[in-house]
Amino acid sequence: MQNWKNKAEIKQEYLNRIDNNISTQDFFGDWCNYKGYSDVGYYLGREFIKYLQQQYSLIDIANLNINQLYQHFKAFALLP
């Protein structure tokens, strides 16, 4: 996957879908695509984990609850 020029856009779109209970399926899998690219969700997930690793170990990340992950993703989505 190429490094997205519009990373901020995909973060905002993903957050919008989560907030509005809209499917994120087209972000995942080779058979789906977001704006013509497959696996965008995996790229976004990798970038999110890299963001979290600035503050947490992988063990700590694995132990974050869903509300903590959501709050961290909202902060992550605001970054350029």
The string of pLDDT tens digits covering residues 42-65 is 999 999 999 999 999 999 999 999
Question: Quick one: average pLDDT of 63-79?
Answer: 97
What are the distances in angstroms from CA 42 to CA 11, 47? 12, 9
- The reported pTM is 0.85
**Beta carbons of 24 and 30 less than 8 angstroms apart:** no
Tokens 């974050």 sit on residue:
64
Question: Three-state SS for 37?
Answer: strand
Rg (CA), the chain: 13
Half-sphere exposure of 74 (CA within 13 A, CB side): 7
